[in-house]
Structure 1
Amino acid sequence: MNVYSFPPVINSSSRILIMGSMPGVASLKAYQYYGNARNYLWPIVYGLFGEGSEPNPDYESRISFALHHGVALWDVIASCERQGSLDSDIKLAIPNDIPGLLVQYPGISVLACNGAKSYTELQKHYGTHPEVIRRKVLRMPSTSPIPTRDYRGLEDRLQAWRTLLEM
């Protein structure tokens, strides 16, 4: 099944661009970035900026909070074929125009790839592009609720994501 990412959430104050691979089924149905209530992205964003880890339940308020703190959201992949939500099932990925967005928003200084798939797709399509290489590119642990060998839950992921505050 063909799936499509959302438009970027960004403004002229944005300095960190958090890039996922492609929204999962729950996010696509809700038409919301990180719309799966179990995903850790929103608790991490709120935790990073001193508001505790309990995000506002209102999606538009979460978006406003992120933008207010210089955080933009987009996906590396514009469209792909995928059944379900797993990155490992992504096929025939077509990238978003990340370099074009960076030209429009030169204040973006950090590209934070949310997980391995977004990082590898960014490198594959734009790893040598001047707009990408002049920015700090970070491969962050996925905010997916699926535990990994190194990341079991919110606290260890939040600790790793604190790197963004040093940029």
Structure 2
Amino acid sequence: MKVGLGPIARSDARLFVLGSLPGDASLAAGQYYAHPQNQFWRLLGQVIGEALPELSYQDRLDCLADHRIGLWDVIGSAQRHGSLDQAIRLANHNGIERLVEKFQHLEAIAFNGGTSAAIGRKLIGHGQRVGLIDLPSSSPANTRPFQEKAAVWAQLRPFCGAPPCARGQSGQKGNR
């Protein structure tokens, strides 16, 4: 049984990006999207105009918070051999349907990949006050060219608030 990571968001989050269940590299590191070939940080960095891959993990999270972006997964735990979504069995879902109630500023929920979208849309249902956006997976298993993925991920821009993150060359927060 593999157990995922908890939600990461400030109370003023406008956008949540939901994956399926972290892969083995992410679970081992205790960090979202830790596999070096996963394009998540590069894709989202392009959306918000930040060099996220160059930052420390904590600075990445701080930057997402500055842009009012939250992270979580639709699956809280499951049996799975390896890291592929197709191998997920006996999934226990996170309470993502409560995001709309808990986060009053939430405007959109984006699903990172087909598994996340299929499960997430069922859990959230129809008629919500937030937009639901399906994204191509950032996983290295999705071999679509980066620019094709980035073109779809660009639709997240209107939901990413805040000025640029102020970070120095060493990854430290600078003056705003």
TM-score (norm 2): 0.84
CA radius of gyration, larger in:
2
Q: Is the 8 A contact 2:85 2:115 kept in 1?
A: yes
CA distance in 2, matches of 1:91, 1:146: 18
Residue number in structure 2 paired with 1:141: 136
Residue number in structure 2 paired with 1:62: 60
Q: Is the 8 A contact 2:112 2:134 kept in 1?
A: yes
- The number of equivalent residue pairs is 159
In the TM superposition, residue 44 of structure 1 has moved relative to its aligned partner by 1.2
Which blocks of at least 5 consecutive residues in structure 2 are unaligned?
Answer: 160-176
In the TM superposition, residue 56 of structure 1 has moved relative to its aligned partner by 2.8
Please report the RMSD computed on the Cα atoms of aligned residues, expressed in angstroms.
Answer: 1.6
In the TM superposition, residue 88 of structure 1 has moved relative to its aligned partner by 0.5
Q: Is the 8 A contact 2:97 2:123 kept in 1?
A: no
Identity between Structure 1 and Structure 2 (%): 33
Residue number in structure 2 paired with 1:105: 103
TM-score (norm 1): 0.88
Runs of 4+ in structure 1 displaced over 4 angstroms? none
Residue number in structure 1 paired with 2:24: 25
CA distance in 1, matches of 2:124, 2:78: 17
CA distance in 2, matches of 1:83, 1:124: 24
- Pair 1:119 & 2:117 matched: yes
In the TM superposition, residue 95 of structure 1 has moved relative to its aligned partner by 0.9
